[in-house]
């Protein structure tokens, strides 16, 4: 398992709270929480008692959800 310090170093930039991350991806915070609990949401990390998200992980999650038309 990768130590948390190495994970943070690999993702530069600010961290977003659940509310900020939900706004970033265009969802309601409760929907993002549900996706996380179901295991289908973007990568989240604990920062104290908060779940936080890196914008790069949110972008990757959104990209993976795109449906490409032929």
Q: What is the pLDDT of residues 48-67, one digit of tens each?
A: 999 999 999 999 999 999 88
Q: What is the pLDDT of residues 4-61, one digit of tens each?
A: 555 555 677 799 999 999 999 999 999 999 999 999 999 999 999 999 999 999 999 9
Question: What domains appear along the chain, each with residue ranges and CATH number?
Answer: 15-65 (1.10.1660.10)
Contacts 24+ apart (CB under 8 A), 54-63: 54/11, 54/13, 54/15, 54/16, 55/13, 55/14, 55/16, 55/24, 56/11, 56/12, 56/13, 57/11, 58/16, 58/21, 58/24, 58/25, 61/25, 62/25
Q: How far apart are CA 9 and CA 32, in angstroms?
A: 24
């Amino acid at each position: 398992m990768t130590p948390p310090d190495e994970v943070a170093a690999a993702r530069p930039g600010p961290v977003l709270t659940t509310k900020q991350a939900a706004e970033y991806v265009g969802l309601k915070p409760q929907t993002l929480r549900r996706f996380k609990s179901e295991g289908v949401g973007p990568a989240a990390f604990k920062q104290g008692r908060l779940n936080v998200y890196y914008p790069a992980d949110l972008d990757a999650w959104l990209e993976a959800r795109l449906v490409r038309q032929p």
